[in-house]
């Protein structure tokens, strides 16, 4: 092949066989939208098991729009990044109120929905509606950087624009959705971040990154900032065979139930004092163990402590829950280790 027939070569390669993913068996814009949101920060293999279950529970936009938030978060549990589930519901409400329950067949209108960025709008537009729009995610960016041997740092606005324009120029008018899927398939199975399978690659002949022997090193990314570490004392406060949970107020994991915690403190007397500030009188019992959770830019190092409260005092945004209730609550992954400690204590 020469460098001109990249698009056709990729499409023929895709047509010869690709992974059978459930969202590739549908043209339903609702289902495609759900899959694209789930795929934003989660691997396809993981999404497969959640996708069908989620759609069985919320088969229409209306079902999703009217779902109780706690139930929705529970259905999302395990996929992480709960803000995606909240945005999904906000978008579902907008689709019901503004578009009669149908996703709009328009790139800009899709782009305006909560949780839908350039990539997701391009993917839905091309796959569900046949609009010749490019969908550039990290996979596609990597393929194009290597194919064009782009050695500048990706992520800068200029290189972003260059790659977006390149991607757009490659989209075929007759099969934009197949092309979007084919590019994702290339990035996920052939032009992988480590050890790209260049010798098997259908577009190897025209690939400048391969020709120059630099494919593996591309794309060049800015060095990640070191992750900040926060030491947190997680407080499991027990009373009458129940444990206290509170709704988190901070932006990170905001609105989700967690256990009370105190930043950069380990002295038992000070932990008790922190609880007094929210109206709970408790005696320190013991340290139960340690847990660690890694977010994108942040690491929580968590010491988990048990405390025994005098009474089940009412706490704003708080609940004293039984073992069964605790098991059923949608808790963020970050506090699941602490939940396991609590479950061991409750009967």
Residues engaged in binding ligand SF4 (CB under 6 A): 143, 146-147, 190-191, 196-198, 201, 203-204, 207, 209-210, 215
How many whole angstroms from its chain centre is CA 236? 28
Say if strands 220-221 and 282-294 run parallel, antiparallel, or are unpaired.
unpaired
Q: Residues near 53 by Cβ (< 8 Å), separated by ≥ 6?
A: 75
Task: Report, in Å, the least distance between residue 19 CB and ligand SF4.
Answer: 16
Angle, helices 176-185/6-15, rounded to nearest 10 degrees: 80
- Is 32 within 8 Å of 127 (Cβ atoms)? yes
Cα-only R_g, the chain = 24
Q: Per the residue annotation, which of 36, 77, 185, 250 is the catalytic one?
A: 36
Measure CA of the first residue to CA of the last residue in the chain; give whole Å. Answer: 67
Is 146 or 166 the residue whose CB approaches ligand SF4 more closely?
Answer: 146
Q: Residues near 80 by Cβ (< 8 Å), separated by ≥ 6?
A: 41, 42, 332, 333
Q: Number of C-alpha atoms within 13 angstroms, CB side, residue 129?
A: 21
Task: Report, in Å, the least distance between residue 46 CB and ligand SF4.
Answer: 24
Task: Report, in Å, the least distance between residue 197 CB and ligand SF4.
Answer: 6
Strand partners, 235: 305
Is 154 or 280 the residue whose CB approaches ligand SF4 more closely?
Answer: 154
Is 73 or 203 the residue whose CB approaches ligand SF4 more closely?
Answer: 203
Is 192 or 231 the residue whose CB approaches ligand SF4 more closely?
Answer: 192
Task: Report, in Å, the least distance between residue 196 CB and ligand SF4.
Answer: 4
Task: Report, in Å, the least distance between residue 186 CB and ligand SF4.
Answer: 7
Is 207 or 321 the residue whose CB approaches ligand SF4 more closely?
Answer: 207
Task: List, in sequence order, the alpha helices (H) in 294-335.
Answer: 323-328
> For residue 272, what is the enclosing H or E element?
helix 268-277
Is 201 or 342 the residue whose CB approaches ligand SF4 more closely?
Answer: 201
- Catalytic site residue 71? no
* Cα angle, residue 332 at apex, residues 123 and 241 outer, rounded to 5°: 155
In whole angstroms, give the CA distance from residue 34 to residue 18: 21
Task: Report, in Å, the least distance between residue 38 CB and ligand SF4.
Answer: 26
User: What distances in angstroms separate CA 341 from CA 260, 303, 337, one per listed residue?
Assistant: 14, 11, 7
Active site residues: 36
């Amino acid at each position: 092949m020469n460098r001109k027939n990249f698009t056709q070569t990729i499409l023929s390669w895709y047509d010869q066989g690709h992974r059978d993913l459930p969202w590739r068996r549908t043209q339903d814009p609702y289902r495609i939208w759900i899959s694209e949101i789930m795929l934003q920060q989660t691997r396809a293999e993981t999404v497969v098991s959640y996708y069908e279950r989620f759609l069985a529970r919320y088969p229409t936009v209306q079902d999703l729009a009217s779902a109780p938030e706690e139930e929705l978060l529970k259905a999302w549990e395990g996929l992480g990044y709960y803000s995606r589930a909240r945005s999904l519901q906000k978008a579902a409400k907008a689709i019901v109120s503004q578009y009669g329950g149908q996703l709009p067949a328009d790139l800009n209108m899709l782009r305006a929905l909560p949780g839908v960025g350039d990539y997701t709008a391009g993917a839905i537009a091309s796959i569900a509606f046949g609009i010749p729009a490019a969908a550039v995610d990290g996979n596609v960016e990597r393929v194009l950087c290597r194919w064009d041997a782009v050695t500048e740092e990706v992520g800068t606005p200029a290189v972003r624009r260059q790659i977006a324009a390149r991607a757009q120029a490659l989209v075929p008018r007759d099969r934009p959705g197949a092309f979007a899927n084919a590019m994702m398939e290339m990035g996920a199975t052939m032009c992988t971040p480590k050890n790209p399978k260049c010798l098997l690659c259908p577009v190897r002949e025209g690939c400048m990154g391969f020709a120059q022997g630099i494919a593996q090193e591309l794309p060049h990314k800015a060095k990640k900032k070191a992750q900040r570490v926060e030491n947190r004392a997680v407080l499991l406060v027990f009373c009458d065979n129940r444990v206290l949970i509170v709704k988190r107020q901070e932006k990170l994991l905001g609105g989700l139930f967690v256990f009370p915690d105190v930043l950069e403190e380990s002295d038992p007397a000070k932990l008790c004092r922190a609880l007094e500030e929210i109206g709970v009188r408790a005696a320190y019992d013991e340290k139960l163990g340690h847990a660690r959770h890694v977010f994108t830019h942040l690491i929580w190092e968590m010491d988990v402590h048990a405390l025994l409260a005098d009474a089940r005092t009412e706490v704003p945004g708080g609940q004293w829950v039984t073992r069964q209730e605790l098991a059923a609550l949608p808790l963020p992954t970050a506090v699941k280790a602490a939940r396991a400690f609590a479950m061991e204590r409750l009967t």
